[in-house]
Structure 1
Amino acid sequence: MLGLILTPKEMAKPSSQSVEATIIISNKDSSDTIVRKIISLYLVGYNFITVKTKDERISTLQRNTIRELVRRKLVGTEIISETSNEIKLQTLLSHPELSIENALRRMSLITVSMHDDALQALKNLDKRLATEVIQLDDEVDRFSFYIVRQLKTAIQNERILKDIKLPNPRECLGYRVIVKFVERIADHAARIAEYILALEEKPSESVFQKIYEISIFARTAFEDAIKSLFKKDYMLADQVISKVKQYCLLKMK
């Protein structure tokens, strides 16, 4: 069966207001301030972001900060031009090239990997592995920012909502909550790795076994929860909730 979708001109293409934005900075602006400004514009869907100064050069520290941000945090974004007082970024990746589902799958797999590696680093007091776990948190952030960007765009554009195969804007809000929780789990793995760097000796076998038991349960619950999402399996989701509640009650006794 063939169908025809008529899309108003203003919905077929984003308005110029949502395509390009400019940030004016000075040498007094901290790296954190610049990072926050760029990320906020990336998240709301701007395809071109220009960072420029009025009369001064962009400092070496600020320039390196922007380069690192683009490389480590912004999926599909490249520096397309650079002068002494201006850096222009373009987001080249669009929703059909990396679906929200695939981005969330990748984000979840990295999170599980961080969890496993943090546990292994604790067992062997492997500080090199702990450092790698902390670095992987940037990868999770990259996919998190990308998904949030796509969800915000989809809420405003029905055509894009259909392209990413979500039935209505409410689903976007649901995915936003899920992304937030996955990101938080990755943050916890990174925090564990940070604590490992401060340790001077391995935990005792008995202490590690208790941590290991809780850790494996948490990992299994997370993997089953993600599986229930992608398979749209209500029964599995309900089982995960019940098991977690029972486990918590058992541990409180």
Structure 2
Amino acid sequence: MDRRKIMSLGRSSLVISLPKHWIKLTELERGDYVTLNIQKDNSLIVFPGVRKEREDREITLNVDPSENKDLLTRKIIACYLNGYFGINLISTDIFTVAQQKAVRNIVGMLYMRILESDARRIYAKIFVDESKAPIDTAIRRMHVITSSMFQDALKSLLNQDVELARVVHGLDDDVDNLNFFLLRLLRGAVLHPSLAVKLGLEPIDCLDFQTLVQRIEYVADHAVTIAKNVIMSSGRGLWLSQSVVESLMNFGNQAFDMYNEAIRAFFARDIDASNNVIERLDEMEMLNQKLALSTISVNEALAVCMLCIIRDSIKRIAEYAADIAEITIDHAYKPKPAVST
């Protein structure tokens, strides 16, 4: 680390010299400009030249008509997550119908708008001001939707309510929307210190928040898995016995409480509550083993599969709750930025 002494220039100005090797590396000369960026910890970053806070970068993707629509979707998501504001898709011939539908579906999910479109070119752009996006609020909204999905999935299981299960399935897109948007913000904050300052984030916050967001999204996915099995069982005329359903509900309600408590503890920075969530995993494992034994009483093979899938989803949600609780404890002891005096 290079240390520099502050010197006075004139009556009121204070200056420091720039390292000679850095000047050669950046090819700066007398009269050139540099850009200064104050960080959250009051440190200062010096950029060579005049630098915009964040350029509205664009990228062009060449698309072959034979390219799989799922791969095309993943490429668009990758560009979005890496901070591109404009995505220009150019076909080497013409887009297939499947490709056009895939592009329009994912563009809508990513809060983007298609500004130009024809048989050979699609141009999409994002207009969201990311510097004004409240991270905490977006995560809370994502959690509220996910929590309601899990609760309704359990209700649909208890009451054999297929319509409610379909509603749960439909809400998954809302969680995915917020998931992609939050991951874009967090990756952007790592890449662009000025955005991190505006969002009130430190680099370590981005790591913890990214893990938190992904765990919430996983919970939503497993709520959908439960709902899908309710829909499937109704369509095939299958159902579990009342005693098995009651055991599943008890298991699910325990996981539901763990998940909600883990999120509450995260925002409250409640270490004791987080530790209690983690310690409840042993109890959940015992309930899981009892449910596994109840599989013996189920005669239909498809019903056995349904029971195992739902049981596994509930178990995983409990484990994700414990993961969130671990994040809370780790986050509580993050080192404070060192400020020199």
TM range (shorter): 0.7 to 0.9
Partner of 1:183: 217
Structure having the larger proportion of residues in helix: 1
Decide whether the 8 Å contact of 2:251 with 2:288 is kept in 1: no
SS at match of 1:216: helix
Structure 1 gaps of 5+ residues are none
- Aligned partners of 1:22 and 1:252: how far apart in 2? 52
| Shift, 1:95, TM fit | 2.4
Whether the 8 Å CA contact 2:142–2:175 is kept in 1: the answer is: yes
The equivalent position to 2:112 in structure 1, one of 63, 69, 77, is 77
- The match for 1:225 among 262, 265, 268 is 262
Deviations, residues 18-39 of structure 1 (Å, cap 9, x unaligned): x101111121112101101100
Q: In 1, are the aligned partners of 2:152 and 2:164 still within 8 Å (CA)?
A: yes
Aligned pair partner of 1:66 in 96, 103, 112: 103
**1:239 is aligned to 2:279:** no
Matched, 1:206 2:246: no
Partner of residue 133 from structure 2, selected from 98, 118, 125: 98
Pick from 160, 179, 199: which aligns with 1:144? 179
Q: Deviations over 1:119-154 (max 9, x none)?
A: 122122222222222222222111111111111110
TM-aligned CA deviation for residue 10 of structure 1: 6.4
Give the match for residue 75 of structure 2: 37
The C-alpha deviation readout for 1:27-61, integer Å capped at 9, x for no partner, is 1112101101100101111110111113x222222
Q: Is the 8 Å Cα contact of residues 11 and 159 (structure 1) preserved in structure 2?
A: no
The answer to whether the 8 Å contact 1:11/1:157 transfers is no
Asked whether the equivalents of residues 87 and 124 of structure 2 are also in contact (C-alpha less than 8 Å), the reply is yes
Deviation at 1:114, TM superposition (A): 1.1
Alignment of 1:129-140 (within 5 A): 129-140=164-175
Give, in whole Å, the separation in 2 of the partners of 1:213 and 1:233.
Answer: 26
The answer for the alignment partner of 1:169 in structure 2 is 203
Question: Is 1:27 aligned with 2:65?
Answer: yes
Instruction: Please tell me whether residue 192 in structure 1 is matched to residue 226 in structure 2.
Output: yes
For 2:171 and 2:50, the matched residues in 1 are separated by 39
- Measured in 1, the distance between the counterparts of 2:145 and 2:155 equals 15
Cα distance in structure 1, aligned partners of 2:288 and 2:226: 21
* TM-score relative to the length of structure 2: 0.66
Is 1:215 matched up with 2:218? no
- 1:236 shift after superposition: 2.0
Q: CA deviation digits over 1:133-184, x for unaligned, max 9?
A: 2222222111111111111110112221122222x21121111111121111
Q: Between Structure 1 and Structure 2, how many residues are aligned? A: 244
Q: Distance in 1 between matches of 2:63 and 2:84?
A: 18
Q: Distance in 2 between matches of 1:10 and 1:234?
A: 45
Once the two structures are TM-superposed, the CA of residue 13 in structure 1 deviates from its matched residue by 2.6
Maintained 8 Å contact 1:130/1:194? yes
For 1:87, the equivalent position in structure 2 comes to 122
Where relative contact order (Cα < 8 A, 6+ residues apart) is larger, the structure is: 1
Q: What amino acid sits opposite 2:285 in the alignment? A: C
Kindly provide the amino acid, as one letter, of the partner of residue 32 in structure 1: D
Q: State the 1:192 CA deviation.
A: 1.2
**SS of residue paired to 1:21:** strand
Work out whether residues 162 and 230 of structure 2, in 8 Å CA contact, stay in contact via their aligned partners in 1: yes
User: d(CA) in 1 for partners of 2:257 and 2:71?
Assistant: 38
Q: Provide the rounded CA distance (Å) in 2 between the counterparts of 1:193 and 1:108.
A: 18
Letter in structure 1 aligned against 2:219: I
Among candidates 155, 168, 171, match of residue 120 of structure 1: 155
Distance 2:133 2:54 in 1: 19
Q: 1:134 to 1:64 in 2, by over 3 A?
A: same
Q: How far apart, in 2, do the equivalents of 1:131 and 1:250 lie?
A: 28
Q: Which moved more, 1:24-33 or 1:241-250?
A: 241-250
- For 1:49, which of 74, 78, 87 is the aligned residue? 87
